Structure 1
Amino acid sequence: MNDAIAGIERAMRQVVAEAEAAAGHRFSERDLPLYGVLRYHLGWADPDFRPATADAGKRIRPLICVLACAAAGGDPDVAVPTAASIELLHNFTLVHDDVQDGSDRRRHRPTVWALWGVGQAINAGDALFALSQLPLLGSHARGVPPARVIGVAREFNATVLRIVEGQVLDLCFEERWEIPVASYLNMIEGKTASLVAFAAWSGAVLAGADAERAERYRAFGRALGLGFQVQDDLLGIWGEAEVTGKPAGDDIRRRKKSLPVLLLASKADAEDLSTLQTIYAGPEVDDAAVETVLRLLEKYDVQSEVQVAVAEYHAEALRLLEEAGATGPARERLNELAERLATRRF
Structure 2
Amino acid sequence: MTAVAGTDPRNFIRDLTRSPSGRLLQNALENRWPTTPDRLSTIVRYALLPAGKMLRPIMTLESAAAVGGDPAPVLPAALAMEYLHVATLVHDDIIDADEVRRGRPAVPTAFGLPDAIVTGDHLIFCAFASIVECGAGGVPADRVATAVGALAAAGNDMCRGQILESELVGDPDTGVERYLEMVRLKTGALFRAVCHVGAALGGADEEGAAQLAGYGEQLGIAFQIRDDLLSYTTVAQSIGKSTTSDLSNGRPTLPLLLAHQAASPQVRARLTAALRGHRADPATVAEVQRILADTAALDRTRDCLVGHAGQARDRLAGLPPSTSAALLDAVARWAAAHRW
TM-score (normalised: structure 2): 0.89
Partner Cα distance (2:105, 2:128) in 1: 27
Matched, 1:8 2:36: no
Match in the other structure for 1:340: 334
Identify which range, 273-282 or 104-113, moves more after superposition.
273-282
Partner Cα distance (1:200, 1:283) in 2: 36
Note the alpha carbon deviations across 1:238-293, whole angstroms, 9 max, x for none: 22333212355453344321111111222221111111112223264210011011
Matched, 1:37 2:43: yes
Partner Cα distance (2:278, 2:74) in 1: 47
Partner Cα distance (1:192, 1:288) in 2: 30
Q: What does residue range 1-346 of structure 1 map to in structure 2 within 5 Å?
A: 1=2, 2-16=19-33, 29=37, 32-43=38-49, 54=50, 56-282=51-277, 284-323=279-318, 325-343=319-337
Question: In the TM superposition, what is the alpha-carbon distance from 1:168 to its structure 2 partner?
Answer: 1.0
Match in the other structure for 1:25: none
Note the alpha carbon deviations across 1:304-323, whole angstroms, 9 max, x for none: 00111111112222221113
Structure 1: gaps (5+ residues): 22-28, 44-53
- The residue type equivalent to 2:137 in the other structure is R
Q: Percent identity?
A: 30
Secondary structure at 2:315's aligned position in 1?
Answer: helix
Identify which range, 331-340 or 104-113, moves more after superposition.
331-340
Partner Cα distance (2:205, 2:243) in 1: 45
Note the alpha carbon deviations across 1:52-97, whole angstroms, 9 max, x for none: xx3x221111111111111111111132111111110111111000
Question: In the TM superposition, what is the alpha-carbon distance from 1:9 to its structure 2 partner?
Answer: 3.4
1:85–1:136 CA contact under 8 A, matched in 2 = yes
Question: In the TM superposition, what is the alpha-carbon distance from 1:122 to its structure 2 partner?
Answer: 0.6
Partner Cα distance (2:315, 2:339) in 1: 24
Partner Cα distance (1:283, 1:306) in 2: 22
- The residue type equivalent to 2:40 in the other structure is L
Structure 2: gaps (5+ residues): 3-18
Question: In the TM superposition, what is the alpha-carbon distance from 1:125 to its structure 2 partner?
Answer: 0.8
Question: In the TM superposition, what is the alpha-carbon distance from 1:110 to its structure 2 partner?
Answer: 0.8
Cα-Cα RMSD: 2.0
1:71–1:330 CA contact under 8 A, matched in 2 = yes
Question: In the TM superposition, what is the alpha-carbon distance from 1:121 to its structure 2 partner?
Answer: 1.0
Partner Cα distance (2:185, 2:275) in 1: 25
